Copies of this chain bind each other. A is one copy, B any other.
Amino acid sequence: MSATSFDFSRLLAKGVPEPAARFTGFPKFNFIGGHNDPVQIPVEGLSEAARSVLKREGSKLAMYNLAQGPQGYAALRDFVVDKVTKLRGITATRDDVLITSGSGQGIQLVNRLLLEPGDTVILEEFSYSGSISQARAMGANVIGAPLDSDGLVIDSLARILEDLKGKGKRPKYIYTIPTVQNPTGSILPLDRRHALIALAKKYGVPIFEDECYADLIWGEPAPPALYALAPEQVIHIGSFSKNLAPALRLGYAIAAWPVLSRMVACKADGGTGALDQMITAEYFSQHFGAHLGKLNATLHAKQTTLAEAMAREFGTAAEPWHPKGGIFQWFKLPDSVDVRKVLKPAADAGISFNAGPEWSCDPEAAKSHFRLCFALLSPQEIKDGVAALARVFYEQTGVPQRSANVENVRGRAS
Protein backbone atom coordinates (compact mmCIF):
# COMPACT_ATOMS: atom_id res chain seq x y z
CA MET A 1 0.00 0.00 0.00
CA SER A 2 1.35 3.37 -0.96
CA ALA A 3 1.05 6.36 1.29
CA THR A 4 1.25 8.74 -1.67
CA SER A 5 -2.01 10.54 -2.15
CA PHE A 6 -3.47 10.69 -5.63
CA ASP A 7 -4.86 14.01 -6.81
CA PHE A 8 -8.30 13.52 -8.33
CA SER A 9 -9.04 17.24 -8.49
CA ARG A 10 -7.36 17.75 -11.87
CA LEU A 11 -9.52 14.96 -13.37
CA LEU A 12 -12.91 16.39 -12.41
CA ALA A 13 -15.41 17.29 -15.08
CA LYS A 14 -16.53 20.89 -15.41
CA GLY A 15 -19.45 21.92 -13.27
CA VAL A 16 -19.08 19.22 -10.63
CA PRO A 17 -20.69 20.38 -7.39
CA GLU A 18 -18.53 21.35 -4.45
CA PRO A 19 -17.72 18.48 -2.05
CA ALA A 20 -20.35 17.64 0.52
CA ALA A 21 -19.53 18.50 4.11
CA ARG A 22 -19.48 15.73 6.69
CA PHE A 23 -22.95 15.21 8.13
CA THR A 24 -22.97 16.28 11.76
CA GLY A 25 -26.57 15.61 12.77
CA PHE A 26 -29.73 17.66 13.03
CA PRO A 27 -29.93 20.91 14.98
CA LYS A 28 -31.96 20.91 18.17
CA PHE A 29 -34.76 22.97 16.62
CA ASN A 30 -35.02 21.65 13.05
CA PHE A 31 -37.64 23.69 11.16
CA ILE A 32 -36.28 22.95 7.67
CA GLY A 33 -37.00 20.54 4.88
CA GLY A 34 -39.80 18.01 4.66
CA HIS A 35 -39.37 15.86 7.73
CA ASN A 36 -42.50 14.35 9.20
CA ASP A 37 -43.87 13.46 12.64
CA PRO A 38 -41.90 10.48 14.06
CA VAL A 39 -44.75 9.54 16.36
CA GLN A 40 -47.09 9.09 13.38
CA ILE A 41 -44.90 6.51 11.64
CA PRO A 42 -47.11 3.38 11.77
CA VAL A 43 -44.34 1.09 12.92
CA GLU A 44 -46.56 -1.85 13.85
CA GLY A 45 -48.59 -1.56 10.67
CA LEU A 46 -45.52 -1.44 8.45
CA SER A 47 -44.06 -4.44 10.26
CA GLU A 48 -47.25 -6.45 9.71
CA ALA A 49 -47.38 -5.30 6.08
CA ALA A 50 -43.79 -6.45 5.58
CA ARG A 51 -44.65 -9.86 6.98
CA SER A 52 -47.68 -10.41 4.77
CA VAL A 53 -46.29 -9.04 1.52
CA LEU A 54 -42.95 -10.85 1.87
CA LYS A 55 -44.74 -14.12 2.58
CA ARG A 56 -46.90 -13.69 -0.51
CA GLU A 57 -44.46 -12.11 -2.98
CA GLY A 58 -41.01 -12.05 -1.40
CA SER A 59 -39.46 -14.45 -3.88
CA LYS A 60 -40.11 -11.91 -6.64
CA LEU A 61 -37.29 -9.82 -5.14
CA ALA A 62 -34.97 -12.09 -7.15
CA MET A 63 -36.09 -10.32 -10.30
CA TYR A 64 -35.44 -6.74 -11.36
CA ASN A 65 -38.58 -4.67 -10.84
CA LEU A 66 -40.21 -7.73 -9.25
CA ALA A 67 -40.69 -8.97 -12.84
CA GLN A 68 -43.38 -6.30 -13.25
CA GLY A 69 -41.55 -3.89 -15.52
CA PRO A 70 -40.01 -0.46 -15.08
CA GLN A 71 -43.24 1.36 -14.17
CA GLY A 72 -43.11 -0.16 -10.68
CA TYR A 73 -44.79 -2.63 -8.37
CA ALA A 74 -48.29 -3.27 -9.70
CA ALA A 75 -49.99 -3.19 -6.31
CA LEU A 76 -48.49 0.20 -5.54
CA ARG A 77 -49.62 1.55 -8.90
CA ASP A 78 -53.08 0.15 -8.14
CA PHE A 79 -53.08 1.94 -4.80
CA VAL A 80 -52.09 5.20 -6.48
CA VAL A 81 -54.94 4.78 -8.95
CA ASP A 82 -57.39 4.11 -6.14
CA LYS A 83 -56.18 7.11 -4.15
CA VAL A 84 -56.21 9.65 -6.98
CA THR A 85 -59.58 8.39 -8.17
CA LYS A 86 -61.18 8.89 -4.77
CA LEU A 87 -59.33 12.02 -3.62
CA ARG A 88 -58.26 13.85 -6.77
CA GLY A 89 -61.00 13.06 -9.29
CA ILE A 90 -58.54 11.41 -11.66
CA THR A 91 -59.45 8.65 -14.09
CA ALA A 92 -56.46 6.37 -14.63
CA THR A 93 -55.29 2.78 -14.72
CA ARG A 94 -52.07 1.26 -13.45
CA ASP A 95 -50.68 1.64 -16.99
CA ASP A 96 -50.85 5.43 -16.59
CA VAL A 97 -48.69 5.42 -13.44
CA LEU A 98 -44.92 5.46 -13.08
CA ILE A 99 -43.53 4.85 -9.59
CA THR A 100 -40.56 7.14 -8.98
CA SER A 101 -37.83 7.25 -6.34
CA GLY A 102 -39.42 10.22 -4.62
CA SER A 103 -41.31 12.97 -6.42
CA GLY A 104 -37.95 14.65 -6.82
CA GLN A 105 -37.10 12.03 -9.43
CA GLY A 106 -40.38 12.91 -11.16
CA ILE A 107 -39.20 16.52 -11.40
CA GLN A 108 -35.82 15.37 -12.74
CA LEU A 109 -37.47 13.18 -15.37
CA VAL A 110 -39.79 15.94 -16.60
CA ASN A 111 -36.90 18.38 -16.79
CA ARG A 112 -34.74 15.82 -18.59
CA LEU A 113 -37.57 15.32 -21.07
CA LEU A 114 -38.36 18.94 -21.81
CA LEU A 115 -35.60 21.36 -20.86
CA GLU A 116 -32.67 22.69 -22.83
CA PRO A 117 -30.46 25.65 -21.97
CA GLY A 118 -32.21 28.88 -22.90
CA ASP A 119 -35.72 27.48 -22.46
CA THR A 120 -38.27 29.42 -20.46
CA VAL A 121 -40.38 27.91 -17.68
CA ILE A 122 -43.05 29.53 -15.49
CA LEU A 123 -43.15 28.67 -11.80
CA GLU A 124 -45.09 30.23 -8.96
CA GLU A 125 -43.26 33.28 -7.55
CA PHE A 126 -42.67 31.36 -4.33
CA SER A 127 -42.07 27.69 -5.01
CA TYR A 128 -40.23 24.54 -4.01
CA SER A 129 -36.54 25.35 -3.88
CA GLY A 130 -35.59 22.10 -5.61
CA SER A 131 -37.80 22.88 -8.60
CA ILE A 132 -36.39 26.38 -8.93
CA SER A 133 -32.76 25.34 -8.58
CA GLN A 134 -33.04 22.35 -10.87
CA ALA A 135 -34.64 24.29 -13.72
CA ARG A 136 -31.92 26.92 -13.32
CA ALA A 137 -29.17 24.28 -13.24
CA MET A 138 -30.44 23.03 -16.60
CA GLY A 139 -30.04 26.49 -18.04
CA ALA A 140 -33.72 27.45 -18.08
CA ASN A 141 -34.96 30.99 -17.64
CA VAL A 142 -37.29 30.82 -14.63
CA ILE A 143 -40.21 33.27 -14.49
CA GLY A 144 -42.21 33.60 -11.28
CA ALA A 145 -45.98 34.06 -11.58
CA PRO A 146 -47.64 36.01 -8.74
CA LEU A 147 -49.52 34.27 -5.94
CA ASP A 148 -52.22 35.43 -3.59
CA SER A 149 -53.85 33.63 -0.70
CA ASP A 150 -55.71 31.38 -3.16
CA GLY A 151 -52.66 30.51 -5.27
CA LEU A 152 -51.82 31.56 -8.82
CA VAL A 153 -53.22 34.92 -9.86
CA ILE A 154 -54.69 34.11 -13.24
CA ASP A 155 -54.68 37.61 -14.73
CA SER A 156 -51.02 38.02 -13.92
CA LEU A 157 -50.21 34.66 -15.45
CA ALA A 158 -52.14 35.66 -18.58
CA ARG A 159 -50.03 38.80 -18.90
CA ILE A 160 -46.82 36.80 -18.55
CA LEU A 161 -47.89 34.35 -21.25
CA GLU A 162 -48.99 37.13 -23.59
CA ASP A 163 -45.76 39.00 -23.00
CA LEU A 164 -43.70 35.89 -23.76
CA LYS A 165 -45.76 35.25 -26.88
CA GLY A 166 -44.97 38.79 -28.00
CA LYS A 167 -41.28 37.90 -27.69
CA GLY A 168 -41.81 34.67 -29.64
CA LYS A 169 -41.23 32.51 -26.58
CA ARG A 170 -43.35 29.53 -25.62
CA PRO A 171 -42.59 28.24 -22.11
CA LYS A 172 -41.80 24.56 -21.78
CA TYR A 173 -44.18 24.26 -18.83
CA ILE A 174 -46.14 26.02 -16.12
CA TYR A 175 -45.06 24.32 -12.89
CA THR A 176 -47.66 24.64 -10.16
CA ILE A 177 -48.32 23.18 -6.72
CA PRO A 178 -52.05 23.90 -6.74
CA THR A 179 -53.11 21.84 -3.75
CA VAL A 180 -51.30 22.95 -0.59
CA GLN A 181 -48.88 25.24 -2.33
CA ASN A 182 -45.26 25.16 -1.25
CA PRO A 183 -44.49 27.40 0.65
CA THR A 184 -47.74 29.36 1.03
CA GLY A 185 -50.13 26.46 1.79
CA SER A 186 -52.92 27.72 -0.47
CA ILE A 187 -55.38 25.57 -2.43
CA LEU A 188 -56.28 26.79 -5.90
CA PRO A 189 -60.09 27.17 -6.25
CA LEU A 190 -61.92 25.33 -9.02
CA ASP A 191 -62.62 28.40 -11.11
CA ARG A 192 -58.93 29.27 -11.17
CA ARG A 193 -58.11 25.69 -12.13
CA HIS A 194 -60.39 25.97 -15.16
CA ALA A 195 -58.96 29.38 -16.00
CA LEU A 196 -55.39 28.08 -15.69
CA ILE A 197 -56.16 25.20 -18.04
CA ALA A 198 -57.82 27.56 -20.52
CA LEU A 199 -54.66 29.68 -20.54
CA ALA A 200 -52.45 26.63 -20.97
CA LYS A 201 -54.53 25.53 -23.92
CA LYS A 202 -54.65 29.01 -25.46
CA TYR A 203 -50.85 29.31 -25.36
CA GLY A 204 -50.05 25.64 -26.00
CA VAL A 205 -48.10 25.18 -22.78
CA PRO A 206 -48.10 21.97 -20.72
CA ILE A 207 -48.96 22.14 -17.04
CA PHE A 208 -46.60 20.38 -14.66
CA GLU A 209 -48.69 19.71 -11.55
CA ASP A 210 -46.89 18.82 -8.32
CA GLU A 211 -49.36 17.44 -5.77
CA CYS A 212 -46.94 16.08 -3.25
CA TYR A 213 -48.83 17.64 -0.31
CA ALA A 214 -52.36 17.13 -1.64
CA ASP A 215 -53.27 14.38 0.85
CA LEU A 216 -52.51 16.65 3.80
CA ILE A 217 -55.61 18.85 3.94
CA TRP A 218 -57.44 19.94 7.10
CA GLY A 219 -60.65 21.51 5.86
CA GLU A 220 -62.91 21.09 2.85
CA PRO A 221 -61.79 18.58 0.21
CA ALA A 222 -59.77 20.22 -2.54
CA PRO A 223 -61.10 20.68 -6.07
CA PRO A 224 -60.07 18.00 -8.57
CA ALA A 225 -56.46 17.83 -9.69
CA LEU A 226 -55.57 19.73 -12.85
CA TYR A 227 -54.76 16.36 -14.41
CA ALA A 228 -58.36 15.32 -13.78
CA LEU A 229 -59.54 18.34 -15.77
CA ALA A 230 -57.08 18.13 -18.69
CA PRO A 231 -55.27 14.79 -18.68
CA GLU A 232 -53.85 15.30 -22.16
CA GLN A 233 -51.95 18.46 -21.22
CA VAL A 234 -50.96 17.90 -17.59
CA ILE A 235 -48.07 15.93 -16.13
CA HIS A 236 -49.06 15.04 -12.57
CA ILE A 237 -46.65 13.99 -9.82
CA GLY A 238 -47.16 12.97 -6.22
CA SER A 239 -45.25 11.56 -3.27
CA PHE A 240 -45.32 9.17 -0.36
CA SER A 241 -42.80 11.30 1.53
CA LYS A 242 -45.49 13.49 3.02
CA ASN A 243 -48.39 11.09 3.63
CA LEU A 244 -46.11 8.34 5.00
CA ALA A 245 -42.38 8.98 5.37
CA PRO A 246 -39.64 10.85 3.54
CA ALA A 247 -36.90 8.31 4.24
CA LEU A 248 -38.86 6.06 1.91
CA ARG A 249 -38.02 7.17 -1.57
CA LEU A 250 -41.38 6.83 -3.25
CA GLY A 251 -43.33 9.08 -5.55
CA TYR A 252 -45.35 8.71 -8.72
CA ALA A 253 -46.06 10.35 -12.03
CA ILE A 254 -49.27 10.17 -14.03
CA ALA A 255 -49.28 11.33 -17.63
CA ALA A 256 -50.47 10.44 -21.10
CA TRP A 257 -48.48 7.55 -22.55
CA PRO A 258 -46.56 9.65 -25.13
CA VAL A 259 -45.06 11.50 -22.15
CA LEU A 260 -44.97 8.72 -19.60
CA SER A 261 -43.26 6.30 -21.99
CA ARG A 262 -40.44 8.83 -22.41
CA MET A 263 -40.17 9.27 -18.65
CA VAL A 264 -39.92 5.49 -18.29
CA ALA A 265 -37.15 5.47 -20.90
CA CYS A 266 -35.26 8.22 -19.05
CA LYS A 267 -35.56 6.46 -15.66
CA ALA A 268 -32.25 4.61 -15.94
CA ASP A 269 -32.01 3.45 -12.32
CA GLY A 270 -32.88 -0.24 -12.55
CA GLY A 271 -36.14 0.42 -10.72
CA THR A 272 -37.24 1.97 -7.44
CA GLY A 273 -36.48 0.17 -4.16
CA ALA A 274 -38.75 -2.86 -3.95
CA LEU A 275 -39.14 -3.19 -0.20
CA ASP A 276 -40.15 0.46 0.04
CA GLN A 277 -42.73 -0.17 -2.70
CA MET A 278 -44.07 -3.49 -1.44
CA ILE A 279 -44.44 -2.56 2.21
CA THR A 280 -46.02 0.81 1.44
CA ALA A 281 -48.52 -0.73 -0.98
CA GLU A 282 -49.42 -3.46 1.46
CA TYR A 283 -49.91 -1.04 4.34
CA PHE A 284 -51.73 1.73 2.48
CA SER A 285 -54.03 -0.60 0.55
CA GLN A 286 -55.58 -1.42 3.93
CA HIS A 287 -54.91 1.51 6.23
CA PHE A 288 -54.56 4.67 4.15
CA GLY A 289 -57.73 6.41 5.31
CA ALA A 290 -57.18 5.76 9.00
CA HIS A 291 -53.51 6.73 8.82
CA LEU A 292 -54.23 9.95 6.97
CA GLY A 293 -56.94 10.96 9.42
CA LYS A 294 -54.61 10.64 12.39
CA LEU A 295 -51.68 12.24 10.60
CA ASN A 296 -53.68 15.26 9.48
CA ALA A 297 -55.17 15.80 12.92
CA THR A 298 -51.66 15.77 14.39
CA LEU A 299 -50.27 18.11 11.75
CA HIS A 300 -53.15 20.55 12.09
CA ALA A 301 -52.63 20.68 15.84
CA LYS A 302 -48.92 21.31 15.38
CA GLN A 303 -49.60 24.09 12.88
CA THR A 304 -51.91 25.69 15.42
CA THR A 305 -49.14 25.43 18.01
CA LEU A 306 -46.69 27.03 15.59
CA ALA A 307 -49.04 29.84 14.62
CA GLU A 308 -49.76 30.62 18.27
CA ALA A 309 -46.07 30.55 19.16
CA MET A 310 -45.23 32.83 16.25
CA ALA A 311 -47.95 35.29 17.24
CA ARG A 312 -46.74 35.21 20.83
CA GLU A 313 -43.03 35.56 20.06
CA PHE A 314 -43.01 37.72 16.91
CA GLY A 315 -46.23 39.65 17.51
CA THR A 316 -47.27 41.72 14.53
CA ALA A 317 -43.74 41.69 13.13
CA ALA A 318 -44.33 38.35 11.39
CA GLU A 319 -47.15 38.31 8.86
CA PRO A 320 -48.35 34.71 8.49
CA TRP A 321 -49.77 32.99 5.43
CA HIS A 322 -52.53 30.60 6.48
CA PRO A 323 -51.87 27.08 5.19
CA LYS A 324 -54.84 24.84 4.38
CA GLY A 325 -52.76 21.73 4.97
CA GLY A 326 -49.23 20.43 4.71
CA ILE A 327 -46.26 20.54 7.03
CA PHE A 328 -44.97 24.12 6.85
CA GLN A 329 -45.96 27.74 7.24
CA TRP A 330 -44.67 30.82 5.40
CA PHE A 331 -44.07 34.11 7.16
CA LYS A 332 -43.04 37.62 6.18
CA LEU A 333 -41.10 40.01 8.39
CA PRO A 334 -40.76 43.75 7.78
CA ASP A 335 -38.97 44.70 4.56
CA SER A 336 -36.00 45.94 6.59
CA VAL A 337 -35.14 42.38 7.64
CA ASP A 338 -32.88 40.17 5.50
CA VAL A 339 -33.40 36.67 6.87
CA ARG A 340 -30.21 35.40 5.22
CA LYS A 341 -28.18 37.28 7.80
CA VAL A 342 -29.87 35.29 10.54
CA LEU A 343 -29.19 31.80 9.15
CA LYS A 344 -25.73 31.43 10.66
CA PRO A 345 -26.48 32.93 14.08
CA ALA A 346 -29.61 30.75 14.24
CA ALA A 347 -27.59 27.66 13.33
CA ASP A 348 -25.13 28.55 16.08
CA ALA A 349 -28.08 28.62 18.46
CA GLY A 350 -29.25 25.17 17.29
CA ILE A 351 -32.08 26.44 15.08
CA SER A 352 -32.53 25.89 11.35
CA PHE A 353 -35.17 27.47 9.10
CA ASN A 354 -35.65 27.88 5.35
CA ALA A 355 -34.77 31.38 4.21
CA GLY A 356 -37.28 32.91 1.79
CA PRO A 357 -34.80 33.58 -1.03
CA GLU A 358 -34.30 29.84 -1.59
CA TRP A 359 -38.05 29.45 -2.03
CA SER A 360 -38.49 32.33 -4.45
CA CYS A 361 -37.94 32.71 -8.20
CA ASP A 362 -36.66 36.19 -7.37
CA PRO A 363 -34.53 35.70 -4.26
CA GLU A 364 -34.46 39.39 -3.35
CA ALA A 365 -38.26 39.55 -3.39
CA ALA A 366 -38.39 37.07 -0.53
CA LYS A 367 -35.47 38.32 1.53
CA SER A 368 -37.81 39.03 4.44
CA HIS A 369 -39.70 35.72 4.19
CA PHE A 370 -39.01 32.40 5.85
CA ARG A 371 -40.57 28.95 6.01
CA LEU A 372 -40.95 26.82 9.12
CA CYS A 373 -41.72 23.11 8.92
CA PHE A 374 -43.68 22.11 12.00
CA ALA A 375 -44.04 18.36 11.44
CA LEU A 376 -40.85 17.02 13.01
CA LEU A 377 -40.72 18.79 16.36
CA SER A 378 -42.95 18.09 19.33
CA PRO A 379 -45.40 20.83 20.39
CA GLN A 380 -43.11 21.84 23.24
CA GLU A 381 -40.09 21.92 20.93
CA ILE A 382 -42.07 24.09 18.51
CA LYS A 383 -42.82 26.57 21.30
CA ASP A 384 -39.25 26.57 22.60
CA GLY A 385 -37.80 26.73 19.09
CA VAL A 386 -39.91 29.69 18.04
CA ALA A 387 -38.99 31.55 21.25
CA ALA A 388 -35.31 30.84 20.59
CA LEU A 389 -35.70 31.94 16.96
CA ALA A 390 -37.34 35.20 18.01
CA ARG A 391 -34.41 35.90 20.32
CA VAL A 392 -31.88 35.35 17.55
CA PHE A 393 -33.89 37.49 15.12
CA TYR A 394 -34.13 40.29 17.65
CA GLU A 395 -30.41 40.16 18.38
CA GLN A 396 -29.50 40.23 14.70
CA THR A 397 -32.14 42.56 13.27
CA GLY A 398 -33.97 44.32 16.11
CA VAL A 399 -37.13 42.47 15.03
CA PRO A 400 -39.37 41.45 16.74
CA GLN A 401 -39.40 44.35 19.16
CA ARG A 402 -41.86 42.60 21.43
CA SER A 403 -41.92 38.89 22.37
CA ALA A 404 -44.50 37.29 24.61
CA ASN A 405 -45.88 40.79 25.11
CA VAL A 406 -42.60 41.92 26.69
CA GLU A 407 -40.44 44.52 25.00
CA ASN A 408 -37.10 43.13 23.92
CA VAL A 409 -33.94 44.99 24.84
CA ARG A 410 -31.28 44.62 22.21
CA GLY A 411 -28.22 42.74 23.35
CA ARG A 412 -29.94 41.52 26.50
CA ALA A 413 -32.78 39.50 25.04
CA SER A 414 -31.03 36.18 25.21
Contact = CB atoms under 8 A, between A and B. Distances in A.
B43 A50 contact: no
B264 A20 contact: yes
B270 A246 contact: yes
A86 interface: no
Interface string A202-237: 001010000000000000000000001111110000
Binding site secondary structure of chain A: loop
Contact of A247 (B1, B62, B230): B62
B270 A249 contact: yes
Given A43-B58, A54-B43, A264-B20, A63 B246 contact: yes
Q: Quick one: copies of this chain in the complex?
A: 2
Interface stretch (A274-282, A330-338, A351-359, A381-389): A274-282
B63 A19 contact: no
B16 A63 contact: no
Interface residues of A, number: 101
A248 B275 contact: yes
Contact of A112 (B16, B70, B273): B16
A249 B271 contact: yes
A265 interface: yes
A377 to B, nearest CB: 11
Nearest to A234: B6
A315 interface: no
Interface stretch (A97-105, A154-162, A303-311, A361-369): A97-105
Contact of A262 (B17, B105, B257): B17
Given A14-B116, A249-B271, 5 more contacts: A6-B204, A6-B233, A34-B64, A102-B269, A248-B273
The 10 closest A-B pairs by CB, nearest first: A23-B69, A273-B273, A19-B261, A43-B58, A247-B274, A50-B50, A61-B245, A20-B264, A38-B59, A17-B265
